[in-house]
């Protein structure tokens, strides 16, 4: 048995010129809404998977620990992911696994919360958190380009609590769930592939952040290495198309899913 649930954890505004990188505004603005300040609505779409043995959260949105630092992005309609999981039928203590595609602040913000002493602690106290070893090493020794995307409060408390487990490479995570690693946007980003009775799905995170990014040349200025990002996206899309997967987009505010 495998069931999945989409959790819309909130939205933020991203500069279109950054979100769509080398693509001229003439083209991306014809396909994605933009305001007079060049800002585009972006989602923070997380995933919750139930199996017979596991309750798995994939990515954790922005959270609310760094509101002052994130004013530029104007987060809005933010939801507590823990409360959304309660609506599905589980308490945070029942979450067995948290898979973080990567450690940029918009994907792991709510992996920790402040306690009554204003200390950051794991949001899911009984869960094993999964991050690729390549991403962890990159986070611990980031380039100047990427350094501002990492907030230690989002992951160090998980490491200190002994709840962090490293993904060393592509692996079968569960009977119907596979994890694969892709570089380019950031080293060792995890893509989650899962199969259900209704079809095959992929949660590619920022390998393919929106439906517009299905085109190989539509990349993001946030990509650590544009050339690698394009090659890795092609590698992923070729595989996803062959396996007839429906993609779940993390950042697309208007198209949650698309089947290849």
CATH at 119: 3.60.15.10
* Structural domain containing residue 79: 2-259
Q: Is the pLDDT of residue 40 over 90?
A: yes
The chain-wide mean pLDDT, for the chain, equals 96
The pLDDT of residue 1 is: 85
The pLDDT of residue 197 is: 92
Q: Is the pLDDT of residue 26 over 90?
A: yes
Decide if 198 contacts 187 (C-beta within 8 A): no
The pLDDT of residue 163 is: 98
Pairing of strands 128-132, 97-99: parallel
- Cα torsion angle, 19, 8, 11, 69, sign: negative
Distance CA 154, CA 143 (A): 18
C-alpha distance from residue 127 to each of 5, 96, 106 (Å): 18, 4, 20
CB-CB neighbours of 118 under 10 Å: 7
The pLDDT of residue 260 is: 82
Distance CA 229, CA 241 (A): 18
The pTM score is: 0.97
C-alpha distance from residue 13 to each of 41, 218, 253 (Å): 5, 19, 10
The pLDDT of residue 7 is: 98
In tens, the pLDDT along 62-113 reads 999 988 889 999 999 999 999 999 999 999 999 999 999 999 999 999 999 9
In tens, the pLDDT along 103-116 reads 999 999 999 999 99
Q: What are phi and psi of 224, to 5 degrees?
A: -60, -40
Distance CA 17, CA 23 (A): 8
Total number of domains in the chain: 1
Which residues lie below 8 Å from residue 29, measured CB to CB, with a gap of 6+?
16
Report, in angstroms and rounded to the nearest whole number, the Rg of the chain calculated over CA atoms: 17
Angle among Cα 83, 85, 91 to the nearest 5 degrees reads 85
DSSP, res 72: G
The pLDDT of residue 69 is: 87
What whole-number percentage of the chain has pLDDT above 90? 96
Average pLDDT on 237-241 reads: 97
Average pLDDT on 218-222 reads: 95
């Amino acid at each position: 048995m495998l069931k999945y649930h989409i959790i819309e954890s909130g939205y933020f505004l991203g500069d279109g010129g950054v979100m769509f990188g080398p693509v001229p505004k003439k083209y991306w603005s014809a396909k994605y809404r933009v305001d007079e300040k060049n800002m585009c609505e972006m989602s923070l779409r997380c995933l919750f998977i139930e199996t017979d043995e596991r309750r798995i959260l994939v990515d954790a949105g922005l959270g609310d620990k760094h509101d002052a630092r994130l004013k530029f992005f104007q987060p809005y309609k933010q939801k507590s992911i823990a409360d959304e999981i309660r609506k599905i039928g589980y308490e945070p203590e029942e979450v067995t696994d948290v898979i973080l595609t990567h450690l940029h602040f918009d994907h792991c913000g709510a992996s920790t919360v402040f306690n009554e002493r204003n200390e950051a602690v794991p949001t899911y106290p009984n869960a094993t958190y999964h991050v690729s070893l390549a991403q962890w090493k990159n986070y611990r020794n980031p380039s100047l380009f990427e350094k501002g995307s990492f907030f230690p409060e989002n992951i160090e408390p998980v490491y200190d609590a002994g709840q962090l487990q490293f993904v060393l490479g592509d692996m079968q995570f569960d009977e119907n769930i596979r994890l694969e690693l892709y570089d380019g946007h950031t080293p060792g980003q995890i893509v989650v592939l899962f199969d259900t009775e209704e079809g095959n799905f992929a949660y590619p995170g920022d390998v393919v952040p929106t439906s517009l990014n299905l085109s190989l040349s539509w990349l993001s200025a946030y990509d650590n290495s544009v050339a690698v990002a394009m090659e890795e996206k092609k590698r992923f899309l070729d595989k996803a198309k062959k396996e007839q997967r429906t993609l779940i987009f993390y950042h697309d505010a208007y198209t949650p899913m698309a089947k290849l």
